Amino acid sequence: MSNWEQYLREHPETLEVPDLPAGHEERFAARLDAALSEAGHDPAGQAVKERKSVRWISFPRVVGLTLAAASLAALFVLLRPARPATQDWFAGVGDDQIQIYEAYSAQVAQIYDELYARMPDDGLGLSAASIVEEAVPLIDQLPEEMDPSERAAVLKEYYGTLLDGLQSVREAVPARRSYR
């Protein structure tokens, strides 16, 4: 026999519960009815037919919003101002990949010389360097199986884009003034 059993046998009065105050059953029933109605049941415990929820996002609305967004995107693409013509960085350079890379390197060196001659100490040098620095040059990454003219076109487009970005940095840096 456990200690609890022995204790309860020796002290049976601990299990005697005094009568609850009058009206306790009515108060409990009222709280139970309120909880059941919140949960969607009637006071008798039967499930109440669920009401149709009102959703602000419906299928037609989603389709309409998607079409409106697609239309705006198409208008943005079609009506945006034309990009100004970029400089032909590789004029006179044929499809020889080495010549393309040498022309690119020469242009980078020329723009760097001009930039650093008038560069303020504000971090634009880091911007210029981050545009043209490559861990592995693209010329070394293109597959050998690629057609040479196709390789040349890829190199000219890629390095031309980098030179356009470097040109933008050059245009953003004002000429250094002499204060002597």
Of 94, 152, 158, 114, nearest to 132 by C-alpha is 158
Q: How many Cβ atoms are within 10 Å of 2's Cβ, its own excluded?
A: 7
**Most confident of the ranges 16-30, 122-136, 146-160:** 146-160
Backbone angles phi, psi at 86, to 5 degrees: -85, 160
| Half-sphere CA count of 89, side-chain side, radius 13 A | 27
Domain boundaries of the chain, sorted by first residue? 3-38, 97-172
What tokens does 74 get? Answer: 């198409």
pLDDT digits (tens, 9 = 90+) for 113-145: 887 777 655 566 667 777 878 888 888 888 989
Query: What pLDDT, on a 0 to 100 scale, did the predictor assign at position 28?
Result: 84
Contact indicator for 86, 164 with CB cutoff of 8 Å? yes
* CA–CA distance, 129 with 92 (Å, rounded to integer): 26
pLDDT given at position 180: 43
Coil, helix or strand for 79? helix
pTM of the model: 0.49
pLDDT at 62: 84
Query: Within a 10 A sphere around the Cβ of 153, how many other Cβ atoms?
Result: 13
